Amino acid sequence: MPRLAAILVVLLPPLLLLSTVGAEAPRGGFGFVATLRHVDANAGYTKAQLLSRAILRSRARVATLQSLATLAPGDAITAARILVRASDGEYLMDMGIGTPPKFYSAILDTGSDLIWTQCAPCLLCVDQPTPYFDPTQSSTYRALGCSSSGCNALYYPLCYQKTCVYQYFYGDSANTAGVLANETFTFGTDTTRVTVPSIAFGCGNLNAGSLANGSGMVGFGRGSLSLVSQLGSPRFSYCLTSFLSPVPSRLYFGAYATLNSTNASTSGPVQSTPFVVNPALPTMYFLNMTGISVGGYRLPIDPAVFAINDTDGTGGTIIDSGTTITYLAEPAYSVVRAAFVAQIKLPLLNVTDDTAVLDTCFKWPPPPRRSLTLPQVVLHFDGADMELPLQNYMLVDPVSGGLCLAMATSSDGSIIGSFQHQNFHVLYDLENSLLSFVPAPCNLI
């Protein structure tokens, strides 16, 4: 008999530390804890508006990430354009820049590398909640030369008067362009605060687009310019609360990034699956997804549907904190959709709106005095199974009003979004090339 979940639908090279203050870091050395704030937090949106905005951001980001894999080898200019288009994320992280430090909130992006903020004098800038960073007011700001390792790590480095200039583009107009520089950064909460010199970052004087209530971006990808690579402590974890909740999320870096303290006594053991390297997109976090179960049945999906195409780097499965809902390659999505239609005893809505992202939706609410069960969903990976709580895969869609599967179809590859791994403590261990996770009450840890 299929295993069913009772319905509980809710609206649904290492760097030298300058100083370390506050709480003593755990055994193992350098690290910090940071607060993550959802980009729409405290903006007065209703739950329906929060869902609608997140889904629309998801659709734009997925289209961008997918287009990366279709580039010709060595097409650095187009790659730079696309990576910045992908910078719309879901969570903001506070950090201090300069000496003395000026504090900013930046979009945390596991899908890209560059750290950047808008700088004065700003020739073209977008709205942000804080003043632009002024490098003349910092005693530790140093522009990088054209032959520096940081400059050579850019997708499309330029040189102007012996100074390294970066350009990341959005469509046909500049999204962020400016000087690549070294600066002292400050991270962490009051009890875990650390100050680190010589972080390479982009000081942007020409910027366009949206920063989603932030003042820049901090890349957590696998490339050499990402924060993870530059700090030389290759592990971080996060525990994301529901973006419908006012409670902020947490990021743990370095020695603090461990699942040992997560209470797993009632939620099952920590599970781990290896990262897969995609030479065409080496900065992103690919996983070997092997299948999906719905209602206790392993669905007839060929694992090749989730695999990277060896010839051109298309396809594959990415885990991405900046995409809200999960997108499944079309052959897999069709099978998952059919399983839900067969197992959920509610009328299926005919979603005809071309702008709609969610199309596996059922009439809601159910008839009075009618009991209803929903099928359990398990995502299978190499060596690990992620059993999703109901609130991580069903929601009441603000557009259709229906009860919808929080997944959508993708024309190229699959992306595991943050909606699916909210209330999981997720550890990225780059040293051992493993992703580990365990269910956790993220509002309490």
Q: What value does the mean pLDDT take over residues 333-345? A: 95
- Peptide bond before 375: cis, by omega within 30 degrees of 0? no
Residues 246 and 280 in one domain: no
Whether 353 is catalytic is no
Q: Which residues contact 125 (CB under 8 A, 6 or more apart)?
A: 118, 132, 204, 207
Residues 138 and 287 in one domain: no
Q: Residue 356 pLDDT > 80, yes or no?
A: no
Structure tokens at 291: 């299948």
Q: Residue 189 pLDDT > 80, yes or no?
A: yes
pLDDT in tens, 106-128: 988 887 888 999 999 888 888 88
* pLDDT, position 61: 60
Nearest to 360 by CA among 318, 326, 315: 326
Residues 36 and 115 in one domain: yes
* pLDDT, position 112: 80
Q: Which is more confidently placed, 282 or 331?
A: 331
**Separation between Cα atoms, residue 313 and residue 331, nearest integer Å:** 18
Domain edge (last residue) among 221, 254, 287 = 254
Does residue 263 fall inside a structural domain?
no
Neighbours of 388 (CB within 10 A): 22
Residues 345 and 219 in one domain: no
Instruction: Please identify which of the residues 88, 94, 109, 397 carries the catalytic annotation.
Output: 109
Domain edge (last residue) among 254, 279, 305 = 254
Domain edge (last residue) among 254, 286, 306 = 254
Residues 280 and 306 in one domain: yes
Nearest to 220 by CA among 326, 92, 131: 92
pLDDT in tens, 40-70: 776 666 766 666 666 666 665 655 555 554 4
Residues 30 and 65 in one domain: yes
List the domain range (segments joined by +) for residue 155: 19-254
Q: What value does the mean pLDDT take over residues 251-269? A: 77
Confidence band (pLDDT; 50, 70, 90) for 282?
Answer: confident
**Separation between Cα atoms, residue 206 and residue 161, nearest integer Å:** 18
* pLDDT, position 263: 53
Q: Domain total for the chain?
A: 2
Residue tagged 């875990």 (tokens): 192
Q: Which is more confidently placed, 244 or 72?
A: 244
Residues 93 and 170 in one domain: yes
Helix (H, G, I), strand (E, B) or coil at 250: strand
Instruction: Please identify which of the residues 88, 113, 320, 359 carries the catalytic annotation.
Output: 320
**Separation between Cα atoms, residue 6 and residue 310, nearest integer Å:** 41
Confidence band (pLDDT; 50, 70, 90) for 71?
Answer: very low
DSSP string, 168-226: EEETTEEEEEEEEEEEEEEES-TTS-EEEEEEEEEEEEEE-S--TTSSEEEE-SSSTTS
Structure tokens at 147: 């032959």
Does residue 27 fall inside a structural domain?
yes
Query: What is the average pLDDT score of the chain?
Result: 82
CATH code of residue 419: 2.40.70.10
Residues 248 and 278 in one domain: no
Residues 29 and 151 in one domain: yes
Whether 75 is catalytic is no
pLDDT in tens, 397-412: 877 788 999 998 888 8
Residue pair 144/156 in contact (Cβ under 8 Å)? The answer is no
Q: What value does the mean pLDDT take over residues 210-225? A: 86
Does residue 236 fall inside a structural domain?
yes
Q: Residue 430 pLDDT > 70, yes or no?
A: yes
Confidence band (pLDDT; 50, 70, 90) for 305?
Answer: very high
